[in-house]
Amino acid sequence: MIYETSETKIVPATREWIASAAEIIKSGGLVAFPTETVYGLGANALDGGAVGKIFKAKGRPQDNPLILHVSGIRDAMKYAEVNESAEAMMHAFWPGPLTIVMFSTASADTDCQVPSVTRANLGTVALRAPLHPVAISLIESTGFPIAAPSANRSGRPSPTTAQAVADDLGDAVDLILDGGPTKIGVESTVVDATRGSVAILRPGGVTEEMLGKVVDLFEGDEGDIAHRSPGTRHRHYAPDIPLFLWDGEERDSFVRVLGVRWCYMGLREPPSDLDTSHRKAIFSSVDEYARELFTKLREFESCGGEIIIAELPDGRNIGGAVRNRLMRAAGS
């Protein structure tokens, strides 16, 4: 096949290449594809062997379960016990950047059983219906739910371009469908709908305020949420050079890096008298910050910079997700 001989496995996401990608997934291979959030590394979620390759390619800890990408509510019902609040959220936010954790179906029909490797041995499954024509077309052409984590090496910033996938995973993936840069730039919101009230496990584009209009939200302590969310146990999103966070006010952050080659990103300019930045990205909105965040982390680490300083935006709208990713990337 052509994709095996081409130097790079990046191909345009045309109808023909999506059909080839579907064949690869049906035969147990790995395909990276764009979604509206970030690029995913996809395999047939019902094939334990294929899913095992995802963990190996990423170097992902086995105790961190994967999201199943499905076409919609009817599809979801095959794999999960969809309760009232889950269904309300699906109606309100699917297709879109919302992943819902539900109990896995104990169906007698073994074709619909999600293998334990996909679920990391949990009794629950995480499902999402992406809002991207390439992702939708891939799900529809394979006929399987597609298990897909973000297509980065484990612990690295998530990829928002096909090239970032190739940089991280290169040989480990059979094909990379290039659909251009992703629109949202940070991963989906993950919610737990297995209890009476819904808990946000990972903030994303569907915000607390939006969810609160549709379901009762859990107001618990962070310890309980971390307990339910395997992904939060591991270091994540970290660039190869140190990342420092700036609150947008104090000057110390910039005084400390005098004489060092530092790169900066944020909504505000650094203090003008201390601005010796090597590279700088100023965003005009928090949406743009979210869209560019992972791209800039990757760009800055490879541009000769020694340190990255990033402004922490306030938590409104997608700012909550940006703060969450920045704090985890900085290891704080």
Closest distance of CB 24 from ligand TXA, Å: 17
Q: Are 91 and 144 in contact (CB under 8 A)?
A: no
Short-list 303, 150, 318, CA closest to 237 = 150
Q: Omega of the bond prior to 95 within 30 degrees of 0, cis?
A: yes
**150 is a contact residue toward ligand TXA (CB under 6 A):** yes
Minimum distance from CB of 205 to ligand TXA (Å)?
9
31 within 8 A of 11, measured Cβ to Cβ:
no
Least separation in angstroms between CB 123 and ligand TXA: 8
Q: What is the closest distance, in whole angstroms, from the C-beta atom of residue 235 to ligand TXA in the complex? A: 12
Cα separation, 48 vs 64, whole angstroms: 15
Binding track over 198-227 against ligand TXA, x by CB under 6 A: ---xx-------------------------
> Least separation, in Å, of the C-beta of 321 and ligand TXA?
10
**Is residue 54 at the binding interface for ligand TXA, with CB under 6 A as the rule?**
no
Task: Work out whether 160 is an interface residue with ligand TXA (CB under 6 A).
Answer: no
Q: Is 67 in the site for ligand TXA (CB under 6 A)?
A: yes
In the window 225-284, what residues touch ligand TXA (CB under 6 A)?
Answer: 229-231
Q: How far is the CB of 260 from ligand TXA (least distance, A)?
A: 32
Q: Find tokens 């100023």 and name the residue.
A: 282
Q: Which of 38, 198, 200, 29 is nearest to 130 (CA)?
A: 38
CA dihedral angle for residue 186, residue 202, residue 264, residue 253, rounded to 10 degrees? 180
Nearest to 103 by CA among 122, 121, 120: 122
Q: Does residue 150 bind Mg ion (CB under 5 A)?
A: yes
Site for Mg ion in 45-74 (CB under 5 A): none
Answer with the entry of ligand TXA, Mg ion, none that 277 interacts with (C-beta below 5 to 8 A by kind).
none
- How far is Cα 235 from Cα 102, in angstroms, rounded to an integer? 25
Which residue is at the shortest CB distance from ligand TXA?
A: 231
Q: Does 105 bind ligand TXA (CB under 6 A)?
A: no
Per-residue contact string for residues 162-191; x = within reach of ligand TXA by CB under 6 A:
-------------------------xx-x-
Name the binder of 37 from ligand TXA, Mg ion, none, CB < 5-8 A by kind. Answer: ligand TXA
CB of 68 to Mg ion, least distance (A): 15
Count interface residues toward ligand TXA (CB under 6 A): 29
Name the 3-class secondary structure at 72.
coil
CB of 149 to Mg ion, least distance (A): 5
Type of residue at 146: I
Cβ burial 91-117 (10 Å sphere, 16+ → b, else e): eebbbbbbbbbbbbbeeeeeeebbbeb
d(C-alpha 31, C-alpha 199), whole Å: 31
33-52 residues in contact with ligand TXA (CB under 6 A) are 35, 37-38, 40
194 binds ligand TXA (CB under 6 A): no
C-alpha distances (whole Å) from 238 to each of 188, 227, 229, 243 are 18, 22, 19, 8
AA letter at 48: G
| Joined tokens for residue 134 | 């390439």
Residue from 44, 71, 85, 124 that binds ligand TXA (CB under 6 A)? 124
> For binding to ligand TXA (CB under 6 A), which residues are involved?
35, 37-38, 40, 64-67, 97, 99, 101, 119, 122, 124-126, 128, 130, 148-150, 187-188, 190, 201-202, 229-231
> For binding to Mg ion (CB under 5 A), which residues are involved?
150
